[in-house]
Structures are given as structure tokens and as C-alpha cells.
Amino acid sequence: MKGQDTHYLRTALRLMGYVASTYKLRFLFVIITIVLSAIAGMAGPLFLLYLIDGFITPLIGQQDPDFTALVHTVILFAAIYCMGVVCTYIYNRLMVNIGQGVLKRVRDEMFTHMQTLPIRFFDTHKHGDLMSLYTNDTDTLRQMITQSIPQTLSCAVSVVTVFIVMLRLSLPLTVLTIAVVCIMLSVAKIVGGRSGRNFVAQQKDVGALNAYIEEMFGGQKVVKVFCHERETEEGFDTLNEKLFQSAAAANAYANILMPIMGNIGNMHYVLTALIGSLVSIAGIAPLTLGTLATFLQMTRSFNQPLAQIAQQSNSIIMALAGAERIFRLIDAESETDDGYVTLVNAFISEDGTISEAGTRTGRWAWKHPHHDGTTTYTELKGDVRFFDMSFGYDDDKMILHDISLYAKPGQKLAFVGATGAGKTTITNLINRFYDVQDGKIRYDGININKIRKADLRRSLGVVLQDTHLFTGTIMENIRFGRLDATDEEVIAASRLVNADEFISRLPDGYSTMLTADGSELSQGQCQLLSIARAAVADPPVLILDEATSSIDTRTEAIVQKGMDALMAGRTVFVIAHRLSTIRNSDAIIVLDHGRIIERGDHDELIEKHGTYYQLCTGALELD
């Protein structure tokens, strides 16, 4: 518990740092206005003291009372109140910009940083959890910054102000107040702790219920086919009941906190009245009626903000927990990139000398600066070689062992093997989504670790099994491959891969709006779009990771023509589910448990009557 507290404190301080550093002056102004506004609020009870003791009591019984002094005081306080109202508006108004500004900064930093994180991060975190950082966690943070912080601050100022006034009014009664505060705090701690524990339990139960309904709704059609509705409902009821228990308990404790605090306050009032009159009657300390009355009023003004702080504590703790998760993302280590070899547009003269070009020339070269200050240029050809490469996602569990292979420019290499054999892993290494542990990969003779990641990836085109389209038009989605591509270039690329035909048939053609999951299109059409995207990027090396797996064999024949057109003249790495698509590869590499067990072209491997032969004849399972 103690350790957790300091954790929260650190998070809170860091958060305050965000607020203070972004809006130094404005935040200072906010604090000043909050203090002024709180003091003005406290003027009320003081006002009564003045009024009763100084002006009203002396006038009682006078024949012809003179009210001018009373009027003056009322005017004075009206002025103070006016200032209070103005300050309240100012800090509320300023907090709007500060709160939203800080949130925007947190959000932007979070997203920008997320973009720099390695693929490993995304592979090891649930996407739903990442999403909730931007929704739930930012939302509780918003409530805390714009509501809880000013309110707590204002309450704290009130408490302090009142306390000082109390001290000046009567020492013994203040001691009583301190005692009551201690009781309040300990009660708040007990009840708040119970409530907090149950909120944690509720969060867990929500998670369990969430997982269950997600699984069941995902397989709802199976449930229907097996008439399994009753059993599914029974499973649901158990989890639902559990959530009810924890939610009811958590809310009950949270709800009774306020009445408890309020009524301790009432008891405080009674005690103050009793002790106050005892003291004044006994003459221990001189207490005027007005002083005692004011003190009584003060106890109310003192207890109310305390209760409010106690009530805010729950939402503050929840917001801090969210802030901690957000900071954990911001603190996650970015993808490292020590590459210094860059990709540049190039002129290549007849004799093979290369010079750098400022504009797009259609030819590319690797710019390689050396220690001695010289720079050499190597033409981008698409020659990829693996030397004794080993790799595992965890150091103690290797996936790939001693892989050596080469693809000369323009060659087509196919990887075949069962799920888990390491096919996709190889492609993850070429574009450095992951880094090899042992051995190396050379691209046009350059160790890929020396190439700047962005440039390396720009030289590789990837078409994945899961097509990811973005909200936007078809045109925009294809242009994602190369942002400066003209409309004509996009259309030409679509034509190349046989996507133009179906796109033109759509009512809005290339301006057809797509949503994220591409539900407007068939799976095959989605894949054609992502192939067109790679075509418009026009990279020398292409990685096709089961790019045509969800297209049936007849449609595939059409797509295949486009793919063949796309692959012409490029180095291609293909991972294929259907062996028919890789028959014309220059080399086929059969992987088993991370090792190369066979390699050769189609005819050689068939001749060999090995694993590939068995796969081809359907005697072995691919998946």
C-alpha cells in the first residue's frame, strides 16, 4: 500500500509537471484566482461575525438605529463577493484551455510515441488495452484535471482559511476541530479503502464478463447451430451475478461516505455548541455570542470541503491509475535505429557512376558515408542474402536456425512449410520488424543493420495476408503506398494488378468511400487493393505473405496475372498457402521447425520425392 502511494505521488507530480510546463503563467494565475475565490467564499461566515458582533448587536434596542455602518459593510462584502465571482469565472475558464491543452498534449505524445514503438510491442499488447488508453484512461484524466484538481485545490484553500480563522477565534474549539478531523480522516480511509478494494474487484469482474461475452458473441453462429443457448446463458449468469455483487458493494461504500462525513460534521457542530457554551458560561475563555455563532458556522464551512475532498479521492485514484498506464506507454522504449546508410534518388550514367539527384528519377542508390568522411553510392538492385542467421522472439526459444540463402535481383523465392515453421518470421527480419540475434542479412551487399530503417522499409513492398484498409476513398487507400503518386499513377498501378476492373464498376469508382474493415468489398477485392498499394510504391523488393490466401482458385487466376505483372523484374519473397502459385519460383525453400530442409526449383524438388513432393500431392498437411 505504501509503495503504491509513492507511485501515485510520482505520477501525480509528473502530471502536474505537464500542466505547469505547458501553461506556466496561466496555471499560476489559476492558482491565484482559486485562492482568491475560495477566500471570498469564506468571507461569508466572517461577514456574519462582523455583522452580528459589530453592527447588529450594538443597535439592538436603540431608539433610532443608524444603519449606515451596516450598509457600508454590506457594500464592502458585496465587493469581495464580486471579486470572488469574477475569480471563479476566470479560473474555470482558464482551466478549460489548460485541461484540454494538457489532454491534447498527452494524447499527441502518446500517439507519436506509439508510432515509434517496435512491432514487438504491438505483438505483446492487446489492441483493446491500447485503445482504452485513448478512451477510458484519457477520459478519467480529463475529469481529474478539469474538475477534481480545481475542486480539491479550492477545498484545501477553504479548509486552511477556515482553520486560520478558527485558530484566531478560539483555541480550545480548534483543538476539538482537529480531533474531529482525525476521526473523519480515519473513517474516510476505512470506508474509502473498502470501496476501493471493491472497485478493483468490480474491474476484474467486468474483465471476466467482457472476455466471456466477447468469446460467445464471436462464436454466436456456432452457439445457434448447436442450440447451445441455454448453456451459454447459464455461464453468463454466474459471471453477471459476480459483477453485480462487487459493483453493488463498491458503490454502496462510495455512497455512504458522504452521509458519514456529513453527520460527523453535524456531531462536530453539537459538540462545539456544547463545549463552547460551557467554556463561555464557565468563563474560561471569553466567547461572545457572535464569536461562538461564527465558530459554529465555521465548522460547517470546514467540514463540507473536507467531505468533498474525500469524495473526490476515488476519482483521483482511478485517474492516476489511468495516467500511470498512459505514462507506461510513453516510457516504453522506441524502436532503435542506428542506421546511417540512406536511400537517395540517383542518376546512373552509362559507365556506372552514380550521382545523387534532387528529384525523383526512378532510379535509387544507397548513400553510404564512411568514417574517413567520404561517401560512396551503391545502386539499389534488390539483392538480398542471409548469412547463418538465427532468431527467436525470446532469447531462450529460437525459431530460426542457421538460415543461409540468397535472392539475386529479379529472382523469386518461395517459402513453404507448416504453421510455425518460421516463414513469416523470415519476412519480419528482412524489414527489421525484429532484429536477428545471430548472423546477418545483406541488402545489395550492405548489412541491413547499417541501413536507416525508414529507407530500408521504403525499398521493400509488403502485402500481408490480413489486408488493412483505412477509412477514406479507394484512391487514398492505394496512394498510401506512395503519398506523392498522381491519380494517373494510382490508376496505372491498379490496372497493372487487375484491380482497375472492379474499381471502375463501383458506382463511385476510385472515390468510393471505405470503412476500416472494408466491409463494402469482398475479401478478394480488399486483397487486390493492398496489392495495388504495393504496386504504386514500386519497390525493388517485394514480400508477399499469403497475399492471395482468401481468394478462391478461379479468382486467384485473375489476381495471379496482376501479381505476375507486379513481380516482373523485382526480387520477390513469397509465402504461399497454395502451392500452385509458387510453381514458377526460381527457388522454393521448404522450412521445418526453423530449419531449411529442402531447396531447389519446382522440378528439382518434385524429382527429389521429399517433403515438397508430399505437400504437392496432398499427402502432408500444410496448415
- Tell me which residues in 97-156 interact with another protein (CB under 8 A): 97, 99-101, 103-104, 107-108, 111-112, 114-116, 119, 122, 127, 130-131, 134-135, 146
* Listed ranges 179-187, 214-222, 385-393, 490-498: which one lies at the site for another protein (CB under 8 A): 214-222
Other residues' Cβ atoms within 10 Å of the Cβ of residue 259: 10
Q: Rounded to whole angstroms, how far apart are CA atoms 451 and 191?
A: 59
To another protein, the closest distance from the beta carbon of 258 in angstroms equals 7
Of the residues 320, 602, 605, 611, which one makes contact with another protein according to CB under 8 A? 602
Q: Is 371 in the site for another protein (CB under 8 A)?
A: no
Mask for 328-347, x = binds another protein (CB under 8 A): --------------------
CB 140, CB 133: distance < 8 Å: no
Interface residue with another protein among 188, 341, 537, 596 (CB under 8 A) is: 537
Burial 197-232 (b: 16+ CB within 10 A, else e): ebbebbeebeeebeebbeebeeeeeebeeeeeeeeb
Cβ distance to another protein smaller for residue 111 or 347: 111
Least Cβ distance, residue 25 to another protein (angstroms)? 18
Q: What is the DSSP string of 323-392?
A: HHHHHHHHHSPPPP----BEEEEEEE-TTS-EEE-SS--S-EEEEEE-TTS-EEEEE----EEEEEEEE-
Whichever of 404 and 584 has its CB closer to another protein, that residue is 584
Q: Considering only residues 561-580, where is the footprint of another protein by CB under 8 A?
A: 579-580
Q: Is 21 in the site for another protein (CB under 8 A)?
A: no
Half-sphere exposure (Cβ direction) of 23: Cα atoms closer than 13 Å: 21
Q: Which is nearer to another protein, 44 or 410 (CB)?
A: 44
553 binds another protein, rule: CB under 8 A: yes
C-alpha cell read off for 233: 446463458
User: Does 509 sit near another protein (CB under 8 A)?
Assistant: no
Q: Which of 6, 62, 349, 353 binds another protein (CB under 8 A)?
A: 62
Among 317, 460, 497, 587, binds another protein (CB under 8 A): 460
CA distance 530 to 513: 15
Cell of 599: 531447396
* Residue linked to cell 510455425: 420
Using CB under 8 A as the binding rule, whether residue 277 contacts another protein is answered as yes
Reading the block at residue 414, the C-alpha cell is: 518461395
Choice from 160, 247, 475, 492 touching another protein (CB under 8 A): 247
* Of 471, 486, 504, 511, the one binding another protein by CB under 8 A: 471
Closest separation between CB of residue 45 and another protein, Å? Answer: 9
Query: 298-327 mask for another protein (x: CB under 8 A)?
Result: --x---------------------------
Among 224, 440, 561, 608, interactor with another protein by CB under 8 A: 224
Residue 270, interface with another protein (CB under 8 A)?
A: yes
Nearest in space to 210 (alpha carbons), one of 129, 308, 90:
129
User: Which residue lies nearer to another protein by CB, 8 or 50?
Assistant: 50
- Residue 142 CB, nearest distance to another protein (Å)? 8
Residue 351: CB minimum distance to another protein, A: 32
Minimum CB separation from another protein for residue 100, in Å? 5
The verdict on 160 binding another protein (CB under 8 A) reads: no
Does 31 bind another protein (CB under 8 A)? Our answer is no
- Grid cell digits, residue 477: 487507400
Looking only at the bridges linking them, the beta strands covering 571-575 and 541-545 are: parallel
Tell me which of 20, 86, 160, 181 binds another protein, using CB under 8 A.
Answer: 86
The stretch among 4-12, 249-257, 362-370, 373-381 that binds another protein (CB under 8 A) is 249-257
Per CB under 8 A, which region of 2-10, 14-22, 25-33, 248-256 contacts another protein?
248-256
If the CB atoms of residues 5 and 233 are measured against another protein, the closer one turns out to be 233
Residue closer to another protein (CB basis): 348 or 418? 418
From the list 319-327, 371-379, 479-487, 590-598, the region that binds another protein by CB under 8 A is: 479-487
Q: Establish if 396 lies at the interface with another protein (CB under 8 A).
A: no
The residues, any chain, with a CB within 8 Å of residue 302's CB and separated by 6 or more, are 158, 159, 162, 163, 166, 177
Query: Is residue 540 part of the contact set for another protein (CB under 8 A)?
Result: no
Which of 48, 181, 330, 398 is close enough to bind another protein by CB under 8 A?
A: 48
Q: Which of 196, 290, 305, 594 binds another protein (CB under 8 A)?
A: 290
Asked if 148 and 229 touch (Cβ cutoff 8 Å), the reply is no
**CA–CA dist 618, 623 (Å, integer):** 12
- Count interface residues toward another protein (CB under 8 A): 158
**Beta partners for 544?**
463, 574
Please select the residue that binds another protein; options are 555, 592, 595, 597, rule is CB under 8 A. 555
Contacts 24+ apart (CB under 8 A), 425-429: 425/391, 425/393, 425/399, 425/400, 425/594, 426/386, 426/400, 426/573, 427/462, 427/543, 427/545, 427/573, 427/575, 428/119, 429/389, 429/391, 429/400
Segment interacting with another protein (CB under 8 A) among 45-53, 174-182, 398-406, 407-415: 45-53
To the nearest whole angstrom, how small is the minimum distance from the Cβ of residue 563 to another protein? 15
Contact 345, 320 (CB under 8 A): no
Q: Which is nearer to another protein, 266 or 404 (CB)?
A: 266
Give the amino acid at 141. Answer: L
Q: What stretch of H or E contains 586? A: none
Q: Under a CB-based contact definition with an 8 Å cutoff, are residues 563 and 547 in contact?
A: yes
179 forms part of the interface with another protein (CB under 8 A): no
**Closest distance between another protein and the C-beta of residue 422, in Å?**
15
Which CB, 24 or 72, lies closer to another protein? 72
Report CA torsion sign: 60, 66, 71, 76. Answer: negative
Which grid cell is 401? 536456425
Round to whole Å and give the CA distance between 234 and 232. Answer: 5
Contacts of 377 (CB under 8 A, 6+ apart): 344, 346, 354, 355, 356, 365, 366, 367, 368
Shortest distance in whole angstroms from residue 374 CB to another protein: 27
> Does 422 contact another protein by CB under 8 A?
no
Residue 454 is a binding residue for another protein (CB under 8 A): yes
Cβ neighbors of 409 (< 8 A, separation 6 or more) are 381, 382, 383, 540, 571
DSSP symbol at 397: B
